[in-house]
Every structure is written in structure tokens, then in C-alpha cells.
Amino acid sequence: MLQATGVAALLRGKVASADDTLIRQGGSPQNLATPIEYFDRLITPTSVFFVRSHFGPPALDRTRKTVIDGMVKTPLTFSVDELKRSFPEVTVTAVLQCSGNGRSLHRPTVPGLQWTHGAMGQATFTGVRLKDVLEKAGVDKDAMHVRMVGADAPPKPSVPAFIRSIPIERAMDPTTVLAYRMNGEELTLGHGAPLRLVVPGWAGDHWVKWLVGIHPQPKEADGFYMQVAYRMPIGPVEPGAAVSPDRTKPATAFPVKSIIARPGGGGAGGAGVKRPIGPQEVVGIAFSGHAPIQSVEVSIDDGKTFAPAKLEGEAGIGRAQVFRFRFDKKEAGHVKAIVRAKDKKGNEQLETPLWNPSGYFWNGWHSAEWEVGS
Ligand SMILES: Nc1nc2c(c(=O)[nH]1)N[C@H]1C(S)=C(S)[C@@H](COP(=O)(O)O)O[C@H]1N2
Ligand SMILES: [Mo]
């Protein structure tokens, strides 16, 4: 079957391991979610890193060339090997998160892949700065956006191609990278080999995989995936209301978020998880696409009071830190832990995040429940 072939292609070229347990999210061709318990560490292993592809990968070709043309003085063409020889190598640690992550939690519900929390992860991405490459090509002053084209083709001509653009300032940002390695290993096909775009702090749809074209141009890219999809309402909207496209703007930086990995596995789904009486530890990750994390707080009294959790790892925009919160439970009973984070620009998680018609950027307070017994 086509779907089985797609997954086989995705898994090819990577070491199978005992924890190779992505969750099939449904939809075709391959949308695989990371189990929540992996969000207890700074780096999500590649073997369990979520995958989101509209059409599935093209054939693996590590010699494939990427073209830079359009509003440049000198059009360039390069393979990954040529890139490595021509530009300094950089590594960024960043959260890759689909804008639809958490969609299933919006009320009223919205159509689309019903992700809970598994469409995110943090990895190290190694490659060259897009800025360095664009400077070598010499971008015209009037180029305001850079259009990105992947090698994956829609299943039929009537389906729009996955074409995206980012504003020129974002393209020239030193953290924006053309990556060929992920978590220290060659990029896998599922994650965009041989070359993908990495835009730390911005939603995954900007992180174009299987890059073949980089084109500075005067305007945002045309087409469905830039002008209709991946857009947020300009102002707040009534839950359930329709929003006309001219009242929307591209969904770019993802909002501040914190997720409990354990215990409990999140939400009321933790029923059945049991811990002995005594010290308890709540662990998870927190990040914001707008600013470094300022604080993470946990409540164990149903949201009446919150106390600060300890943070681990380096702070940064679009960079996840691990949080840990310890408390003592002296008698048996049910525990519910609620987490919320704040970033250094003062953005805070809302208990119930703003609804939008595409169900993007859910970042409500997350909770986990478990039983404490002897
Ligand atoms: N060429 C191409 N790039 C793509 C996509 C795609 O379908 N085609 N999907 C995007 C979306 S919506 C997301 S969330 C991320 C997912 O990256 P991952 O599969 O490496 O986790 O890739 C992005 N890049
Ligand atoms: Mo996405």
C-alpha cells in the first residue's frame, strides 16, 4: 500500500531502536506524533520526532541541487557538499512545532489533523546560514520576501504545491539555517533530506523540507499554503465564527507553551498512573517563539496557587527548557498538577487559549493527574 511504502521510506536510513514508537496521527501520507513522555528532556530523539508532510517525501537524493535565483545579482546552484565547502557551519538548537499542534483541544473543534501535543520536538540543526548564501548571491534591495520550494509534488495537478515564503528580515536573521544535519546525524528523508529550512521560533510550516528553490521576490508567495492556510485572524474572533482572508496574517512565531511529560502522561489520561507516597516530581518542557522563557509555575491545588518550577538548559527564543517541580505528598490520594509558563516579553499562557478557525497555536494550561498510594 502507498501509505506503508511512505512509512518504509521514512524509516529507511535511520537506526531502528526499541523506543521507535511514533503515533500514527492519521491523514495521508505521513503524520506521526511524538509520545508525550518524550517531552521530559531537552532533545527529542530523531527516532521519535514527529513528522508532518502534506504529500510525502520525494525520492532520497543527497546530491540534489538547490537553486537561488529571482531578485539576486548572481544566481547560485549548490548541493549539500558544495554548501559545506563554501560557507561556515552553524548549529542551532530549536523547537520544531506544527502550527496545528494541540488543534484537538480547541473548542469548538475545527477540522484538520487532530493533534494533541505530539506535533513538536526540539533538536539540534546543523547547516549554513541562509543569510550567508543570500549575501553571496547578492539580494536586490527591493526583494522583501524569499519564496521556498520543496521537491515534494502534490498527488495531482489540481492540488496546490507546498510553497511558502518568509520575509527578507527573517531570511537574513542569523538563526535562520539551511540544515543538512539533525541531532548530529545526517538529516533523514522524513525530516527533509538532503536540505531543509530551519526558522527557530516560527511554526513548522516555514521549515520547508527537501529544498530545491530559494527565490527572493517583492511579495509574499502566492498560493494556498501562503494566502489561505497558515494564517491567523488579525484580532480576536468569536469562537466558531468564520474569518475572511483579508482579516488574517501569516501565523509566524508560536506562543509561549509548557507541557507536562510525566507523571500522568497529561490530562485525565493519567488515570491508572500510580506513585508511592513521598516526593513527587513533575517534569516537562517550556518554550516560546517570541522570547526566552521567564518562568514556569505549577499548581497542585487546582489552580488556586502556583509555585515556580526549576528550569534546565539554555534559554533562548524558540528554544525549549526542561522544567522540574518537586513536592512532598504525605498521604494517599489523587494529584492534579497544572503548569503555565511566561516568557521574557511578558507573554503568558491563558487557561483557555484564543480560538481561531484553523485551530492553530493551542497553548492552554496543561495538566496531568495521577494517584498516590502506599
Ligand atoms: N516540502 C515540504 N516541507 C514541509 C512540509 C511539506 O509538506 N512539504 N510540511 C511542513 C509542516 S506543516 C511542518 S509542521 C514541518 C514538519 O517537519 P517534520 O516532518 O520534520 O517534523 O515541515 C514543514 N515542511
Ligand atoms: Mo505543520
Distance from Cα 155 to the centre of ligand 1, integer Å: 16
**Looking at ligand 1, which residue's alpha carbon is closest to its atom 23?**
205
Q: Which of 26, 81, 361 is nearest to 195 (CA)?
A: 81
- Rounded Cα–Cα distance for residues 365 and 319 (Å): 19
Atom of ligand 1 nearest to the CA of 53: 7
Res. 7: pLDDT tops 80: no
Task: Determine the residue of 117, 162, 189, 206 to mutate for testing ligand 1's pocket, defined as the one with the most ligand atoms within 8 A of the Cβ atom.
Answer: 162
Distance from Cα 207 to the centre of ligand 1, integer Å: 6
Instruction: Judge residue 334's burial from the number of C-beta atoms within 10 Å of its C-beta, 0-12 exposed, 13-18 middle, 19 or more buried.
Output: exposed
Domain 257-373 has CATH 3.30.9.10: no
Binned at pLDDT 50, 70 and 90, residue 17 comes out as very low
Look at residue 183 in the predicted model and tell me its pLDDT: 98
Residue found by looking up cell 475572511 in the block: 244
Binned at pLDDT 50, 70 and 90, residue 28 comes out as low
Binned at pLDDT 50, 70 and 90, residue 23 comes out as confident
Distance from Cα 245 to the centre of ligand 1, integer Å: 23
Q: Which of 56, 124, 129 is nearest to 88 (CA)?
A: 129
What contacts 357, CB < 8 A, 6 or more positions away?
110, 233, 237, 241, 242, 243
Mean pLDDT computed over 196-215: 98
Write out pLDDT tens, residues 110-163. Answer: 999 999 999 999 999 999 999 999 999 999 999 999 999 999 999 899 999 999
Side-chain half-sphere exposure of 175, counting CA atoms within 13 A: 16
Q: Which of 258, 259, 275, 267 is nearest to 368 (CA)?
A: 267
Q: Which residue has the higher pLDDT, 23 or 202?
A: 202
Write out pLDDT tens, residues 280-313. Answer: 999 999 999 999 999 999 999 999 999 999 999 9
Give, as residue ranges, everything with CB less than 5 Å from ion ligand 2. Answer: 52, 98, 204-205
Look at residue 102 in the predicted model and tell me its pLDDT: 97
Q: Read off the C-alpha cell for 340.
A: 503555565
Distance from Cα 206 to the centre of ligand 1, integer Å: 8
Task: Determine the residue of 95, 191, 207 to mutate for testing ligand 1's pocket, defined as the one with the most ligand atoms within 8 A of the Cβ atom.
Answer: 207
**Looking at ligand 1, which residue's alpha carbon is closest to its atom 12?**
205
Write out pLDDT tens, residues 51-62. Answer: 999 999 999 999
Binned at pLDDT 50, 70 and 90, residue 329 comes out as very high
Q: Where are the domains of the chain?
A: 57-94+120-250, 257-373
In percent, the amount of the chain with pLDDT more than 70 equals 91
**Looking at ligand 1, which residue's alpha carbon is closest to its atom 21?**
51
Q: In residues, how long is the chain?
A: 374
* Residue 194: cis peptide before it, omega within 30 degrees of 0: yes
Q: Which residue has the higher pLDDT, 68 or 374?
A: 68
List, in sequence order, the alpha helices (H) in the chain: 2-11, 80-86, 130-137, 168-172, 224-227
CATH architecture, domain 57-94+120-250: Alpha-Beta Complex (3.90)
Write out pLDDT tens, residues 335-365. Answer: 999 999 999 999 999 999 999 999 999 999 9
pTM given for the model? 0.93
Distance from Cα 238 to the centre of ligand 2, integer Å: 24
Task: Determine the residue of 113, 197, 205, 214 to mutate for testing ligand 1's pocket, defined as the one with the most ligand atoms within 8 A of the Cβ atom.
Answer: 205
Pocket of ligand 1 (CB under 6 A): 50-54, 96, 98, 150, 152, 162, 191-192, 204-205, 207-210
Distance from Cα 160 to the centre of ligand 1, integer Å: 15
Look at residue 272 in the predicted model and tell me its pLDDT: 73
**Looking at ligand 1, which residue's alpha carbon is closest to its atom 10?**
205
Amino acid at 340: R
Distance from Cα 349 to the centre of ligand 1, integer Å: 26
